[in-house]
Amino acid sequence: MAGKTLPLDPVVNILVNLAAKSAVRKAFNLALLIGETTIIPQSERIRTYTGISEMLEDGFKTTDRLYKAAALIFGQAKTPPKVAIGCIGTVTEDETTRVETPVETIAACREANGEWYVGIYCADITKAEHLTVAEYIEAITPNSLYTYTTSDADVLTNDDGNIFAAMKAKNYRRSLGQYSSKHDDAVCAIIGWAMGAMTGTAGSAYTIAYKTEVGVETENSSSVFASSTVDKIKGNNGNVYINRGSSYDIFEEGTMADGTWFDEMIFLDKYQNDMQLSLMDLLYQSNKIAQTEAGMTQLKDAIKEVCETMNKVGFIKSGVWNSTAVLSLAKGDTLPNGYLIQSEAIDEQAQADRDARKAPNIYVSLKLAGAIHHVTVQVDVNR
């Protein structure tokens, strides 16, 4: 039996390096419902729930507006894993206490929790307050969306200053409105569906057009709702829930106030988030990224992973580049996987940028898979 022995390290030295954890990617599947409640104290501001049963256990009642809004979130064909509930607080000024304005509340909720993506104000709110919240949402970080429900009659007649027209005039890209005379918070239904659809699995990219809002009546469920009225709503980039052809209860049509599609906003926001974190993880976990073409390849490989994910879910696909030229990418060229990543030559970098350890500019060109919402078929019959 051996006595005291000497270590093996001088002969065989094993180094075990455990990689640092990558930052958790936001799933972009959390909606925030803001309303009046005494269950969540202002000091806490936000609580998350995995279902309406948890809300009941916490003290909410089935008659509470926030409960009914959450029931829409969780009641859709696609269901998110949780919802955030935020409380409206108070502000004390000059020894006088008042209720927070909607924008003050949503700003406080943004500060309290950075994970929620879509904010919905489930309480009384004026047209001017809608616009103030929309203005705030356009500018904040991290990227967020504001969605709301209106029953204002002037959106049906397209009167001057109606909320859809006012939002459109401001070119707000991060606000989506739905007209509903049937439910105070009808938009929660389509947002619940959208949050539930953010699974990240293959082929999971979606559009919210023509989806069913479970728990919401269509506008023409019991009375006439003219096609011309629908056209006026949609002409101002508003949205509405209607029945077509007797059998189809559908949400039309999924546009933000400036006309941008909701699905493009959420997937591009997720793409930006994931690419930023992917590059940060690479910088954080590496001893260094050399200021060489090999180093640039490392950066572009990190971006490539995110692009491949967008291809997998079906948000980008192979197609022809029909925009202006980008470095070597010319109009008419095909992007085989829906993307092309290019960078400026490292040898041509300005010395000042090299001294500052900046990477040459990287250019990513994406070809969106798009979505078909309208179909025309010509049928020719010969006898």
8 A C-beta contact, residue 81 and residue 14? no
98 phi, psi to nearest 5 deg: -135, 165
Which residues are registered as beta bridge partners of 175? 146
- Cis preceding linkage at 142, omega within 30: yes
CA 163 to CA 130: how far, in whole Å? 8
For residue 184, which amino acid is it? D
Rg, Å, the chain Cα set? 26
Q: Dihedral of CA 102/108/114/116: which sign?
A: negative
Predicted pLDDT at 5: 78
pTM: 0.92
194 contacts: CB under 8 Å, gap ≥ 6: 78, 118, 206, 208, 262, 266
Task: Report CA 65 to chain centroid distance, whole Å.
Answer: 24
pLDDT along the chain (383 residues), means of 10: 70 65 77 97 97 97 98 97 97 92 96 95 97 97 96 96 97 98 98 97 97 97 94 98 96 97 96 94 94 96 97 97 95 96 95 95 95 95 95
CA 291 to CA 280: how far, in whole Å? 16
Predicted pLDDT at 7: 76
Predicted pLDDT at 15: 67
Contacts 24+ apart (CB under 8 A), 306-312: 306/271, 306/274, 306/275, 306/278, 307/337, 307/338, 307/339, 307/341, 307/364, 307/366, 308/337, 309/200, 309/274, 310/267, 310/271, 310/338, 310/339, 310/366, 311/337, 311/338, 311/339, 312/202, 312/203
Beta-strand relationship, 83-87 and 46-49? antiparallel
Q: Ramachandran region of residue 158, left (φ > 0), alpha (ψ -120 to 50) or beta?
A: left
294 phi, psi to nearest 5 deg: -65, -40
8 A C-beta contact, residue 164 and residue 45? no
